[in-house]
Amino acid sequence: MYDLCRDNLDENAKVIHDKLDEFTEDQINITNGMLSDIILRCRSEWVADYDTNKFAMNILKNNEKISCELCGYHSIHEVFYIKNRVNNTRLRVGSSCITNYELQPFGKGKSVKQARKEYLQSENEIQLSKQYPELRKRLEKWNSRLNDYDVLIPINIETEYNAIKEKIKHEITRYIEGKAKNFDELELSLEDERSILKRLDEYNYNNKGKEFVATKEIKVWLERNHKKRTLEKLKQSGYVNSETIADIQEKNFVEFVLSIIRTKLKNTSLSVNHNLVNDIFVITGLEDNVQLKCGVGKTLSTFGEEILSKENPLVKLTVANVVIVSEPLNSNSTRRIIDRLKKKNYKSDIRILTGGFGKEYDYVARNEINLQIKRTEMVIVENLQRFIQEFKHFALDISITNVQQRLNDYVDKSESKKYTLKYLTDLRDTDFNKRKY
């Protein structure tokens, strides 16, 4: 047996078969006893020869045919490359020999059929990239391509655009898997691609630069600020509307909005500026140089309809309304507002107390206001910020309603505890840091 193997290592099966005829009876018996073991071992020695190509197989072109080096059959055009991993013999064989000798060159998990399929798909992929060299790259960039436009693309066009991608991918798969024999179907979806690109260009051209159009910058800003819902709403129409305006604080858009606000307020004393750092509008041009502020979001949600020039807006852009939604810019403005109120209020039943509690007492720092009822001399302490909210428009001559009456009502309605002036003074003198009264 050893002799047989050594002498005929490089011969094909036919030669070995002929040699077996020359065996003596004893040799045949021995060989038979060993045979199944030998065959199993021999089979496992043959593995796919990937040195030839990455599929270890080839389908010969142009009707070319070669002979199988295992059985000698001379007319194979589907060639499998196998290699003996013990002695490095390389053979080119047909698929029937792989099947008949029960070889598993591709390992246990992979059949000849599977190997053939992978080979054919790779061939198709080559054909595809020859025909459409840029197609795969275009598909990869498909979604990000929408970011190239100056304006946000509305959802109906985007949906159509994405559907065409799926269609193209589907046709590619059909071609690669051999289900489509030519590029006719794929060509149709590529036609769709060209027409949707044309539509996108047109949409961009027709809408860019228009007032309130959702720009690329707004889109990026919304994404960066995780305002997904606003972006979705914006995609419905492609334009900012009263539903979305308050959520958009992109720099250029805010500047644009500011120019509208200025135009609408141009016949008043007010002047408005944007403080980018704190994202607020600063309002000046008020009595005693009082400065107010209003958050950009709050301004947009309050005056959105007016800014969008809607008919009969919910809140009009007037000096009064601007003052009502705003608050003092700083403690200086707070003090000026309170001082003005004190002056206007001198005949009232209520006295506004800001000092006289020891020199360390600062009502603004403590955010509280002391209101003394003249008749009983008792004092209530209220939240300064809320108090300003209620009374600043009186201080700034916006409201002509009787401020004395309003103050009386305010104190009457208050459920705050009443203190004597002495009690508060003693408390603040000795322990001004504690808020307990």
Cα dist. 432→116, 335, 367, 402, 417 in Å?
A: 90, 20, 13, 34, 18
Q: Residue 70's closest CA among 107, 51, 95?
A: 95
Which listed residue (48, 56, 57, 68) binds Zn ion by CB under 5 A?
68
Near Zn ion by CB under 5 A, which window of 70-78, 151-159, 194-202, 328-336?
70-78
Tell me if 97 contacts Zn ion by CB under 5 A.
Answer: yes
Of the candidate spans 47-55, 78-86, 89-97, 346-354, the one that interacts with Zn ion by CB under 5 A turns out to be 89-97
Query: Segment near Zn ion (CB under 5 A), from 71-79, 200-208, 266-274, 423-431?
Result: 71-79
152 binds Zn ion (CB under 5 A): no
How many binding residues for Zn ion (CB under 5 A)? Answer: 6
Cα–Cα dist 55/78, whole Å: 12
Which residue's CB is nearer to Zn ion, number 92 or number 227?
Answer: 92
Taking CB under 5 A as the binding criterion, the range among 23-31, 65-73, 202-210, 284-292 that sits at the site for Zn ion is 65-73
Give whichever of 68 and 352 is closer to Zn ion, judged by the CB atom: 68
Which of 73, 54, 38 lies closest to 123 in space, CA to CA?
54
Q: How far is the CB of 70 from Zn ion (least distance, A)?
A: 4
Is residue 103 within the footprint of Zn ion (CB under 5 A)?
no
d(CA 370, CA 350): 10
Of 102 and 184, the one with the shorter C-beta distance to Zn ion is 102
Calpha distance 93→91 (Å, rounded): 6
Q: Which residue from 58, 83, 91, 94 is in contact with Zn ion, where contact means CB under 5 A? A: 94
Q: Which two tokens stand for residue 44?
A: 């496992």
Q: Which of 437, 435, 383 is nearest to 410 (CA)?
A: 383
Using the rule CB under 5 A, give the single segment among 57-65, 67-75, 137-145, 216-224 that binds Zn ion.
67-75
DSSP 8-state code for residue 281: E
The Cβ-side half-sphere exposure at 377, using a 13 Å CA radius, reads 5
Residue whose entry in the numeric block shows the structure tokens 């403005």: 333
Rounded to a whole number of angstroms, the minimum distance from the CB of residue 107 to Zn ion is: 21
List residues binding Zn ion (CB under 5 A). Answer: 68, 70-71, 73, 94, 97
